[in-house]
Chains A and B, each alone.
Chain A
Amino acid sequence: MGIPLVKTFVLASRDYFHEWQMSFCFVVGLAAVLGPMLVLFGLKFGIVGAMIDQLIDDPRNREIRPVSSGRYDHGWLENVRARPDVAFLVPRTRSIAATIELTSERSPRNVRVELIPSATGDPLLPSGQLPEGVARIVLSESTAKKLRVAAGDTVDGSIARQYRNQKERVHLPLTVTAVAPAQAFSRDGAFVSVSLLEALEDFRDGHAVPRMGWSGDHANSVRTYPGFRLYAHSIYDVAGLSDAFADLGVDVHTHAADIERVQHMNRNLTAIYWAIAVIGLFGFSLSLGANLWANVDRKRKELSVLRLVGFRTLDIAWFPVVQALYAAVFGWALAVGLYQLVAWVINEMMASQLEEGQMVCRLLPHHYEIALALTCGAAVLSAGFAGLRSARIEPSESLRDL
């Protein structure tokens, strides 16, 4: 026949709020430990998070380029494309053949551009801006500027070859479907379909391209490509793909080192943060435990009175636990308030150096929940020892203390 827990809870609460000065000091002490830890974690999470976001957002970090040219046929490329960690793959034609001279009626300039093979799902181009077929082209920003054209305009492309000791030049009208974003390609360039590139390469090699109406020798039956454009699904797939290519005997160039550097930094910062957090939490538990322990001594007489009116061992042990939970919850709330204030100040200060919506100091809702759970856990644990002690109070020895 114990005392209902709710009654113990009410009594412990009234004691807690009666001694509000003392309780307030506990709460401030806790917030003084927890607040800076939240700020530290917010900074770590915000800074590393922003770096990782940047890595993820920039498709160039997912690019894998072969270092030297090889001879890749359709079957080989299809096998690579079928890998689950490959997001995008198009073959490249020889780079000497992959150029074109562009002119437009609006500009006197004659611009020689590099041609980049593209296809559905090109990570460098926004969806809906793809150059499909042999009559469409997506210009890089600098090219569009030089030619003074915009999406919807038509430009004239021309290429020349030496064929049977004669110089030949063909022209083809190309519709500008879009102008690529500046970061997609910084030089003079244009994205076109693979079939157009193949046609240009064949023409330069002196072959006939019937579908374009270009005459010449008979075409090769087996086509091989010297290179490819490949993008991994995510930055985390890059290292694995790089290893896979090494196994296939293909040396590739990747941004794996950059990615690894950020991941490494994230791991190091996390380790440092946890070291600080564990030390902080341990210190806090110790100080709260010592305080509660001393509290039991201070309240020896009051606890003895409860014993005298029939409170059981367990009922008494709840007292420090309930009070520690109050300290934990209020301390956490105060720490979160402090964190919000500091985070706001830091983010305001750094706002000019950041992109829109980016934050240096940032926490997710579940971080707050974890902080609350850890704090309550540490509080209950340290209160448990004080509780055991309070349960051992001998009422006959304490009742007559004045």
Chain B
Amino acid sequence: MYHLRDVVKTREAEGMAFRLRVPSLQISMGEKIALTGESGCGKSTMLDMLSFILRPSDIGAFCFRPAGVKKPLNVEAYWKANKLNRLGDLRKRHLGCVIQTGGLLPYLTVRDNMNLCRNVLGLKRDGTVEHLAAELGIANHLNKLPDALSTGERQRVAIGRALAHKPAIVIADEPTASLDPYAAQRIMTHFMGLVDELNITVILATHAWGHVKKLGMRQLHHRTVCHAESNLTETLVSG
């Protein structure tokens, strides 16, 4: 589904430079990918580029082939032509995103939050949300506002929202970072069970090694090098 070659993102701050380089990355349909590493090594940068919300500094090749489409789409060309709305449409149709802090809209009920992606796609209400809520153990919170929920419950709602429109790919950035290990374990188990059931490609960033091994995910290799003379920290990701 993804094909990346020599994709680079460089960031500079206070004389320190950070560079993420992807010499080569292939992700195929149905794969469960884990991006592990300490915070600050570029996991989020990587995921943002994969979900088309961060413009890479330099692109060798960046192709995306949604399920059911024969010819891969040239993401590089979209970025070059500044077609942000086209990228947004891709995200809307093919991706589900879980962000670290939930990212729920405070003015919508749990049900409407979970329905958000379905709603923008114009999908009918068919009980998917209720089913997901039951699976995630938040069925009794459907009519509450996110404010009334605990952090863990909100995170489950975020997972539910990313899955409700049955996207081909789910990109999750540290979905359990703010939870205690036991809750994290439970939620991750639920999450992986659901994506297996729906046959969804998963790209997950986490610093918890335990899950990855237990859940049998493919781990991306990455290596961080410090170039002391130029104040540059470079992370290489491939797989």
Chain A positions within 8 Å of B99 at CB level: 305, 308, 399-400
Judged by a CB distance under 8 angstroms, whether B181 is at the interface is no
* A310-B53 in contact (CB<8A): no
Q: Is A349 an interface residue (CB 8 A)?
A: no
Which of A19, A304, A311 has a CB less than 8 Å from the CB of B107?
Answer: A19
Q: Evaluate contact between B92 and A309: CB separation under 8 angstroms.
A: yes
Set of chain B residues within 8 Å of A96, measured between Cβ atoms: none
When the two chains form their complex, are residues A400 and B88 in contact, meaning their CB atoms are under 8 A apart? no
CB of B84 within 8 A of CB of A308, answer no
Nearest-neighbour CB distance to chain A for B72, whole angstroms, equals 20
Number of A-B residue pairs with CB-CB distance less than 8 Å in the complex they form? 70
Q: Which residues of B contact A396 (CB under 8 A)?
A: 48, 53-54
Q: Known contacts A309-B116, A400-B44, A400-B100; is A14 also within 8 Å of B108 by CB?
A: yes
A3 and B120 contact, Cβ closer than 8 Å, known pairs A308-B103, A310-B88, A312-B88: yes
Question: A11 to chain B: which residues have CB within 8 Å?
Answer: 105, 107-108
Contact between chains at B88 and A311 (CB < 8 Å): yes
Q: Would you give the shortest CB distance from B98 to chain A, in whole angstroms?
A: 10
- Is there contact, CB below 8 Å, between B107 and A15? yes
Q: Indicate if A136 sits at the interface (CB-CB under 8 A).
A: no
Q: Mark A21-32, 1 if CB is under 8 A from B, else 0.
A: 000000000000
Chain A residue contacts of B121, Cβ below 8 A:
310
Question: Which chain B residue shows the least CB distance to A395?
Answer: B53
- A309 to B101, Cβ gap below 8 A? no
Residue of B51, B97, B107, B121 most packed against chain A (CB within 10 A)? B107
Q: Nearest Cβ distance between residue B157 and chain A, in whole angstroms?
A: 12
Partner of A400 from the list B51, B84, B101, B145 (CB cut-off 8 Å) is B101
Q: Which residue of A lies closest to B161 (CB)?
A: A309
Q: What per-residue 1/0 map shows which CB atoms of B85-128 lie under 8 Å from chain A? A: 10011011100010111011111100000001101111000000
Check: A71 CB closer than 8 A to any chain B CB. no
Chain A 1-38 interface 0/1 with B at a Cβ cutoff of 8 Å (1 = within): 11110010001001101110000000000000000000
User: How long is the Cα–Cα vector from A311 to B85 in the complex, in angstroms?
Assistant: 8
For the complex, what is the distance from the CA of A196 to the CA of B10, rounded to whole Å? 109
For A17, the chain B residues whose CB sits under 8 A away are 107
Q: Is the CB of A302 within 8 A of B89?
A: no
Contact assessment for A310 and B120 in the assembled complex, using a CB-CB cutoff below 8 Å: yes
Q: Is the CB of A307 within 8 A of B53?
A: yes
B54 touches A309 (CB 8 A): no
Indicate whether A313 sits within 8 Å of B84 (C-beta atoms), given known contacts A1-B89, A14-B107, A301-B103: yes
User: Is A248 interfacial (CB-CB < 8 Å)?
Assistant: no
Q: Closest residue of chain B to A17, judged by CB? A: B107
Inter-chain contact A307/B88, CB cutoff 8 Å = yes
Q: Is the CB of B106 within 8 A of A302?
A: yes
Interface footprint category on B:
20 to 34
A19 to B51, CA, bound (A): 30
Once the chains bind, are A305 and B88 in contact (CB under 8 Å)? no
The docked-state distance in angstroms from the alpha carbon of A396 to that of B145 is 25
Query: A73 to chain B: closest CB distance in Å?
Result: 85
B75 to chain A, nearest CB (A): 15
- Inter-chain contacts of B91 with A (CB < 8 A): 308-310
Give the distance in Å from the alpha carbon of A14 to the alpha carbon of B109 in the complex: 10
CB of A24 to closest CB in B, whole Å: 15
**Residue from B44, B93, B108 in contact with A310 in the complex, judged by beta carbons closer than 8 Å:** B93
Q: Distance in Å from the Cβ of A296 to the closest Cβ of chain B?
A: 15
A306 to B53, CA, bound (A): 12
One digit per residue, 1 when the CB lies within 8 angstroms of any chain A CB and 0 when it does not, for chain B 171-196 equals 00000000000000000000000000
Q: Is the CB of A7 within 8 A of B120?
A: yes
Structural contact, B105 and A302, CB atoms closer than 8 A:
yes
Is A310 within 8 A of B92, CB to CB? yes
Chain A contacts for B84, CB-based, 8 A: 313
Contact B51 A308 (CB under 8 A): yes
Chain B contacts of A307 at CB under 8 A?
A: 53, 88
Report B49-67 CB contacts with A as 1/0, cut-off 8 Å: 0010110000000000000
**Residue of chain A at shortest CB distance from B107:** A18
Contact status B101-A402, CB under 8 Å: yes
Q: Measured between C-beta atoms, what is the minimum distance from A285 to chain B in Å? A: 26
Chain A residues in 8 Å Cβ range of B92: 309-310
When distances are taken between beta carbons in the complex, the residues of chain B under 8 Å from A15 are 105, 107
Closest chain B residue to A19, Cβ basis: B107
> How many Å lie between the Cα of A52 and that of B227 in the bound state?
86
Contacting residues, chain B, for A19 (C-beta < 8 A): 107
Chain A residues with Cβ below 8 Å from B51 are: 308
- Inter-subunit contact A308/B53 (CB<8 Å): yes
17 extra interface residue pairs, beta carbon distance < 8 Å, beyond A308-B51, A310-B89: A2-B85, A4-B122, A14-B107, A17-B107, A18-B106, A18-B145, A301-B103, A302-B106, A305-B99, A308-B99, A308-B103, A309-B91, A310-B88, A311-B88, A312-B88, A394-B54, A396-B48
Please report B residues at the A interface, Cβ cutoff 8 Å: 44, 48, 51, 53-54, 84-85, 88-89, 91-93, 97, 99-101, 103-108, 116-117, 119-122, 145
What are 6 residue pairs bridging A and B, where the CB atoms are less than 8 Å apart in the complex? Answer: A18-B106, A302-B105, A306-B105, A307-B88, A312-B88, A395-B53
Q: Report A's interface with B, CB cutoff 8 A.
A: 1-4, 7, 11, 14-15, 17-19, 301-302, 304-313, 394-396, 399-400, 402
